[in-house]
Amino acid sequence: MGARPPAPFVPAHFAPPPPPQGPGFVLTPLRVAHNERDLRAWSSSVSHIHATAGFAGYPWPDEPMTLERNARDLHEHEDDFANRRGFTYSVMTETGDEVVGCVYIYPSAKGAVDAEVRSWVRASRAELDAPLYATVLAWLRAEWPFDSFEYAPRDVSGIGTVVGPAVAQPAAPLVDPPATS
């Protein structure tokens, strides 16, 4: 007998839910059409992204990055989305004219959780990090089919949103526990 193919990341019947919006931002599926704006956003914020919860020790972003190389990366994310291997969203201003960050939802390499979630915002829009985190966390819990996921917590105490007790322990990554029947 051959090796069993890996389980799909999301069930075949699952349609990605409409992306949420938050105070000052909207999520939209990442597209190659965002290339120039995406490159401007992250290349202006490399140190800030590396200091963002969930990105410490992570190899991306790395430089130098050309517009062509960034377009290839975006095409891979777009292909992953189309083939349900992962879901990447651009975080845009409410008018849609500026990329201010990104959200990644991918299978976890760790057996203990279904998905690994990361998000970042550009340094010039750092005030959006906690509201983005709270918005995405609520969206994941309410509308995605994961029994568990990991999403490094942010301090949301200043935004007036309650997102659950795991946020009280910012030193440890959030692992949303498996659902119980």
Tell me the C-alpha distance between 79 and 83, whole Å. 6
Question: What are the Cα distances from residue 103, in Å, to 12, 78, 137, 165, 180?
Answer: 22, 13, 11, 22, 27
As a CATH number, domain 21-176 is 3.40.630.30
Nearest Cα to Cα of residue 151 among 180, 128, 179, 130: 130
pLDDT in tens, 98-111: 999 999 999 998 87
Q: Using 50, 70 and 90 to split pLDDT, how confident is the model at 2? A: low
Phi, psi of 53 (to 5 degrees): -50, 130
Sign of the four-CA dihedral 154, 156, 159, 160: positive
Per-residue pLDDT tens for 67-98?
898 899 999 999 999 999 999 999 999 998 89
Q: What integer pLDDT is reported at residue 164 of this predicted model?
A: 39
> In sequence order, what DSSP letters do the residues of 71-124 get, joined into one string?
HHHHHHHHHHHHTTS-EEEEEE-TTSS-EEEEEEEEE-SSTT-SEEEEEEE-GG
SS (H, E, C) 19-74: CCEECCEEEEECCHHHHHHHHHHHHCCHHHHHCCCCCCCCCCCCCCCCHHHHHHHH
Residue 3's pLDDT is what? 53
CA-based R_g, the chain, Å? 16
